[in-house]
Chain A
Amino acid sequence: MKIVEYSPYIWRIPKEGEMLVDGIVFASKEMIEDIKNDHSLQQVANVATLPGIQKAAFGMPDIHWGYGFPIGGVAAMELKTGVISPGGVGYDINCGVRLLKTQFSLSEIENKLEELVTLLFKNIPTGIGKKKSDIKISTKSLNKLLKEGMKWTLDEGFAREEDLEYIEDNGTIEGADPNTVSQRAKERGVFQLGSLGSGNHFLEIQVVNEIYRKKEAQTLGIDKGQIVIMIHCGSRGLGHQVCSDYVKIMVKAMNKYGIKVPDKQLCCSPINSVEGQSYLKAMAAAANFAFVNRQVITYKVRKVFASVLGFHHKKIPIHTVYDVCHNIAKIETFKIDNKTKKLLVHRKGATRAFPPQNPFVPSKYRSIGQPVLIPGDMGRYSFILVGTQKAYQYTFGSTCHGAGRVLSRRKAKQQAKGRDLLKEMKDKGVIVKAAGMATVAEEMPIAYKDAEEVVNIVENVGISMKVAKLKPVAVIKG
């Protein structure tokens, strides 16, 4: 497999062998050398072999070795001839990020920060296994939730009406069918609603550290020194089970449809097949569960802040800025060779980045484009960006999703040996509460690329623009 520099920050894997299109990867010269050390470029080339793929298989600058698709991968499929691959969405369906803004400054809450973090950690379950959510719902209610997504949270009193406006697809992916979700998936999901999970998932209290674009920041209601809250999590065990169930279904279905893939985890079915349609309905249901999960966490955040700062939780000035999916497949409309086409866009560790004036961008933000939320590592910073016309035309309206790992979890743990990471973070001004030290070690800042380098590349390529930099002051992790 060859990789050639096409233009600054753009690398091309020319079509060869079974590839139907080129691979395109966005990276700096330094970054591409690191990327070459894992298997992610081969995974881009593998994705390029999938039936119906259009234009190119894309790798964002946060690309790293995943399973099947690389993490940081984007692939759009033609609806009639193309396929849907659960591996192109990932196990944690609609793993995503929500950003909440407050009217508080750091100095206003600094002396209550420890109490806030302690209560958030107590009220929002983290980790896995026996730790269960305190939100109890019936199977009937779960089915309603899976179908309706955020509409369910309004009926149940977990959301404010304004929340729905500022969520990708208003927090409801159409076409969800709870009947396509297995009983086991429901069993796993029913006690995990409102929980953070583990791995790279987190809840951070952050302070707006830098504004790059004033007009855009003002439109989003973001100002320097303001406290914001970032929630990063997904569809928990329910989404994992949906992916596991359909990977097995599609491994079998590939024989039926005569599809061959270079890696079993790329298993797929034609979009219009029974298996493909069934997966899309189940995936939509799991994505709705993830939106609701982040909303229930939002509800808990509002309650904790209200109790500590002396507000009623319905009146605490904490508002949703936006909520984005990082792992999803969606039917969207783009122009290919001057023809308008509906395509199924897989984003696996990538973010939708729609431009100004796009009807899918909330009306309040339509003049600036869709907000893109990029979490970094827990010691440095995260970013708010906005989508661009170039992203819409070039990358199927997609951009990066995070920093991307540079150290494997094993290597990170080896390097953490003998270090007091909690103290190191505290010395940097970040309070960390975690369910286990293993996660803290795996997620320590040096395990990740510098998120600033990643967002600078997508800005240089023109597929999104920086609006603000956010620095963590407190983190809870699974």
Chain B
Amino acid sequence: MYTNRGFIETDHGADIRIKIWAPTFEQLLEEAIKALGNLIACKDKDLQKISKTLFLKSSTKEELIVTTLEELLFLFEKEGFIPLEGKVMDLSNKYKVKIKVKGRYLEEEEPTKNIIKGVTFHGLKITTNGNKIFTYIVFDV
């Protein structure tokens, strides 16, 4: 029913909710990054010209997801950087992470698919089902 890893937008009244799944937490985080880029970018461009490395830390896995996405939203708001692909480079310490994010800059006059303003903790819980882990993320728009 589900691919090995991925994400899907599900209904949420005033905001946007996505369901994400993957075999490992690292991959879940990578899918969350890809989902964010997919929610922002209107055009399917594979021009992943820019690469950024993030060093982030949190107290829990859930908080690490929120912190990562918030950092990327900040970069989008500040520089127009759209994250398209993430690779967790190091998660040796449980909640300290080094992530390489590839993406591109929003072009002049390029519209966005959604305007994401924040990442919430609403209903955020990582659950396991069989050999996959799942989570829902609600974005404030």
Contact = CB atoms under 8 A, between A and B. Distances in A.
Indicate, yes or no, whether A interacts with B.
Answer: yes
Contacts of B114: 409, 438
A244 B63 contact: no
Interface string B105-139: 01000011111011111111000000000000010
A237 B119 CA distance: 12
A184 B77 CA distance: 12
Given A184-B74, A263-B123, A240 B115 contact: no
Contact of A64 (B14, B122, B123, B141): B14
B140 interface: yes
A129 B76 contact: yes
Contacts of B141: 198-199, 409
A130 B80 CA distance: 6
B42 to A, nearest CB: 8
Interface stretch (A47-55, A157-165, A245-253, A459-467): A245-253
A256 interface: no
A248 B62 CA distance: 11
A65 B63 contact: no
A265 B80 contact: no
A79 interface: no
A129 B80 CA distance: 5
Contacts of A409: 14-16, 114, 141
A405 B140 contact: no
A38 B13 contact: yes
A251 B121 contact: yes
A339 B77 CA distance: 48
B26 interface: no
A472 interface: no
A91 B115 CA distance: 14
A67 B15 contact: yes
A240 B140 contact: yes
A129 B77 contact: yes
Contacts of B121: 67-68, 247, 251, 263-265, 267
Contacts of B3: none
A130 B79 CA distance: 6
Given A244-B70, A247-B121, A437-B111, A130 B106 contact: yes
A435 B115 CA distance: 11
A264 B124 contact: yes
A439 B115 contact: yes
Contact of B14 (A128, A263, A405): A405
Report the contact-size class of chain B (Cβ under 8 Å from the partner).
35 or more
B4 interface: no
Nearest to B121: A264
Given A65-B13, A410-B16, A198 B63 contact: no
B9 interface: yes
A330 interface: no
B92 interface: no
Interface string B1-38: 00000000101111110000000000000000000000
Interface in B81-98: none
A405 B118 contact: no
Contacts of B120: 67-68, 91, 247, 265
Report the contact-size class of chain A (Cβ under 8 Å from the partner).
35 or more
Contacts of A65: 12-14
A263 B62 CA distance: 13
B26 to A, nearest CB: 22
A216 interface: no
Nearest to B112: A436
A66 interface: yes
A198 B118 CA distance: 12
A435 to B, nearest CB: 7
B115 A244 contact: no
B74 A263 contact: no
A251 B63 contact: yes
A326 B126 CA distance: 32
A409 B116 CA distance: 12
A366 interface: no
Given A129-B77, A240-B118, A405 B111 contact: no
A283 interface: no
A265 B136 CA distance: 13
B77 to A, nearest CB: 6
A478 B115 contact: yes
Contact of B122 (A67, A240, A248): A67
A408 B12 contact: yes
A124 to B, nearest CB: 16
A188 B77 contact: yes
Contacts of A244: 70, 118-119
A468 interface: no
A73 B76 CA distance: 31
A377 interface: no
A58 to B, nearest CB: 18
B45 to A, nearest CB: 16
Nearest 5 interchain pairs by C-beta = A67-B122, A198-B115, A264-B121, A65-B13, A265-B122
28 contacts: A65-B12, A66-B14, A67-B122, A67-B123, A92-B117, A128-B76, A128-B115, A130-B79, A130-B106, A184-B74, A199-B117, A240-B118, A244-B70, A247-B120, A248-B63, A251-B59, A264-B62, A265-B121, A405-B13, A405-B14, A409-B14, A410-B16, A411-B11, A436-B111, A436-B112, A438-B42, A438-B112, A438-B114
Given A38-B13, A128-B77, A409-B14, 14 more contacts: A66-B13, A67-B120, A68-B120, A92-B117, A127-B115, A130-B79, A197-B117, A198-B115, A198-B117, A240-B117, A240-B118, A263-B123, A265-B120, A265-B124
